[in-house]
A and B are shown apart, each in its own frame.
Chain A
Amino acid sequence: MRYITICLLVLLLNACDHIDREDRLIYEKPVTTKRAVLLEDFTGQRCVNCPKGTEIIEQLVAEYGDTAVVAVGIHGGPLGFSGNDITLGLATETGDEYYYHWNLEYQPVGLVNRHGAVNYPEWAAAVKEELSKPASITLSAKVSAGTDNALHINITTMATDGTCNGKLQVWVLEDGITALQLMPDGTTNADYVHNHVFRQAVNGIWGENITIKEGETNTKEYTQAIDPVWNVKNLSIVAFVYNDSGVLQATKVHLQ
């Protein structure tokens, strides 16, 4: 009798683990976006799984647009590649500094509105959660290339829910860079197209202090020299305000 009970118990528990094929995935409606989300993708050309992270970013951008999902590919860390005489590298010292500052362990790994490290399978969930939160500030940016071979950047901020203290950070990004990338199947793709690649911090590695008062418009202007290796047509500007509670708002604008 005792053995029959044990067998029945085992069978019962085995039955509990079954999920019908059509129930394996749960459909969820797209969230209503209430703000932009900054997704910092800590990536590297020697990181075989990083293209998987990029795929997720592409899906999110396709769903919500690149002004709502502001993705930045920060090359650096142990799997970053800073280049040599033959091969173009995208890692920067600033990228390394960010990677080690956040005490990251693996690549790809992301920061979604700077609420701690998020592994790439969880990016979609974190981004959707952040998109549905209201923002306490508005942020817009304008950028143009002058005849002085420089970018002229205008950032406008305004608080909508009390005074905000934080740091304003402005970055230059570049799309469409063809450069080597190790792929998940172990192969090397010399013609991999890297998008939203972090190129330069315009106003210091950690930005500059800013106080944004409710109802008051605050405009800041920056000039950034264009590096000869950048393809001007593919540049964009990302600006965001952050403090200890994370990123308050972000924006992205392509160079016209």
Chain B
Amino acid sequence: MKGLLLYILATCCCLAVSAQTEQGITLSGSVQSDMLLPQTDEKTGAEKTGDFLTNTYADLLLQSKYVDAGARLEYLEHPLPGFENDFAGWGVPNFWVKGRMGKVELTAGTFYEQFGSGFILRTYEERSLGIDNSLLGGRLVVEPVQGITLKILSGKQRRYWNWNKSLISGADTEVDIDQLFPTLQEHNLHFMTGFSWVNKYEDSDEKVYVTPAYRVNFPKYVNAWDVRISLNSGPWSILAEYAQKSADPSFANNYIFRKGSAAMLSGSYSLKGLSVLLQVKRSENMSFKSTNNVSKAIGISSAINHLPAFTQDQTYTLAALYPYATQLADGEWAYQAELGYNFKRKTALGGKYGMNIKVNYSYVRAIDRQFYDTTNDPLAITDGYSSSFFKWGDDTYYQDLDITVTRKLSKAFKLSLMYMNQRYNKTVIEGEGGIIHSDIFIADGKYQLSPKTTLRGEVQYLTTKDDQGDWAYGLLELSLVPHWMITVSDMYNVGETHIHYYQGLVTCNFGQHRLQAGYGRTRAGYNCSGGVCRWIPATTGFTVSYNYNF
């Protein structure tokens, strides 16, 4: 039966593609399929968990003047390694229709939404992590007057192939004050204020005992609110945001009834080649899940909100070896400063072609937490701890300083050099391992061999006395535009295991099709995006990746 349904859906997709457009109606979509033929590899610990594994998605979108509709077919019956057990399955979990009329927009079905920075609501899809926490329900967006946007929504949250029982409802309003008072615009001032509220209703039948005689009385309602203001004037920009969450005892916070909060202040300056960013954030007890059920809440599913990590998302392999994951439940003080500057061409430092320098510093520290004595008082367990707002806790969770210099040395050769100094608290982020202090050196050179041929190479070295010791990495990438790219790379553990993680990939692009095939090993470790991380086991085998957009 499932096979028949799959066939019908595939046929519909093909017909839709071939039909292309009726008058005023646009059809578009995409296919993404990542495949692995896994092999057992005693050296890396990789296991053959199946003959053929794939994560395949097909999106279809129909657009017209007044109505849009879309659906996504997901085939994850035999998924790539490292996802939670419940991730496996297939079906059409996303389907929606959206109507627009004047300044009113109504969505029914599944949808994604974010209020403000996402402190109290962010539903999104991140395929590499296996995250899709969309809501199934309805959303109304109204713009009653120019500059004021109101959103109201309600729905149940997706958790893999089911929707959690709780009902998530919320409202958000954003007022662009400069639109209401044009005088502000005349003075180049843009002023926005926003307020959001989210409610979780869950009539939980979950029974969790803090002692054999006492069980937690879960609140049926959890409320969260968020207020924010932003001011932009010329090159300056400031954003201040504060959110609070009512008592929400959960597995993540050890069933305490303490309120959660998040406060953020962010300022930036950007003008003529100079950019400066300064950010500070304090969060506490802000894990907000759409279920009290431990089995469903554990892991990365069922998250209602998202707190951005104030750390640089690293793209170089060794710089991303120890990635930071936001500590939602325990809380953190996070600071980030970034400076970017473009030295102009034909200056002493800029040279003939100019030079760019970027410095980033991130520091994440524990908040102060004084735990109550719970001896002989079960209720003290529910109090948790007291915390002084501005005081730090003892532990540094993460710190990095990275400096990147990019310079074109000749007409054909461009070089990027990066140095990174990192402190990673493995105990806090992964559970054990202590502080890993590392220095990372990266050189990335790109040479234009001919108008259609480019050779890029990376050399990276990470040195540390901790964990598995030093690592080395090398990559060569030959691009033959417009169709071909050949990549070979090797990551080698110098310090302890002496294992090579080699990889060879061939990528070809033809029109709207992109196909990548390769063979190699990947190391076990965390894959992170925006402060959310997923553990991936080691793999060895043939990989194929196919993308098609229409």
Binding site for B on A (CB under 8 A): 6, 10, 13-14, 16-19, 21-30, 46-49, 59-60, 62-64, 103, 105-106, 117-119, 121-122, 124-125, 128, 182, 186, 188
Contact = CB atoms under 8 A, between A and B. Distances in A.
A59 B212 contact: yes
Interface of B: 84-85, 171, 197, 199, 206-217, 219-223, 225, 246-247, 249, 251, 255, 257, 294-295, 298-299, 378-379, 382-383, 427-428, 431-432, 434
A26 B208 CA distance: 10
A193 B175 CA distance: 61
Q: Which 5 A-B pairs have the closest CB atoms?
A: A186-B427, A125-B207, A124-B209, A25-B214, A119-B294
A222 to B, nearest CB: 33
A121 B217 contact: no
A166 to B, nearest CB: 26
Nearest to B206: A122
Nearest to B256: A24
Interface of A is mostly: mixed
- Identify which of B212, B378, B383 gathers the most chain A CB atoms within 10 Å of its CB: B212
Contacts, number: 110
Contact of A17 (B223, B378, B382, B428): B223
B432 A105 contact: no
Given A19-B257, A22-B379, A25-B378, A10 B197 contact: yes
B173 to A, nearest CB: 9
Contacts of A27: 213-214
Given A6-B171, A119-B251, A124-B212, A24 B431 contact: no
A16 B298 contact: no
A188 B249 CA distance: 29
Nearest to A10: B197
A63 B428 contact: no
A19 B247 contact: yes
Contacts of A121: 208, 251, 255, 294
Given A17-B221, A49-B431, A117-B295, A25 B210 contact: yes
11 contacts: A17-B221, A17-B222, A21-B382, A23-B217, A25-B214, A25-B216, A25-B379, A48-B432, A63-B212, A125-B208, A182-B431
Given A30-B213, A121-B251, A24 B257 contact: yes
A155 B199 CA distance: 56
B251 A105 contact: no
B329 to A, nearest CB: 13
A18 B378 CA distance: 19
A19 B432 contact: no
- Identify which of A23, A47, A48, A186 gathers the most chain B CB atoms within 10 Å of its CB: A186
A136 B157 CA distance: 41
Contact of B221 (A16, A29, A60): A16
B211 A59 contact: yes
Contacts of B434: 186
A23 B214 CA distance: 11
- Identify which of A23, A24, A46, A186 gathers the most chain B CB atoms within 10 Å of its CB: A24
Given A30-B212, A117-B295, A24 B221 contact: no
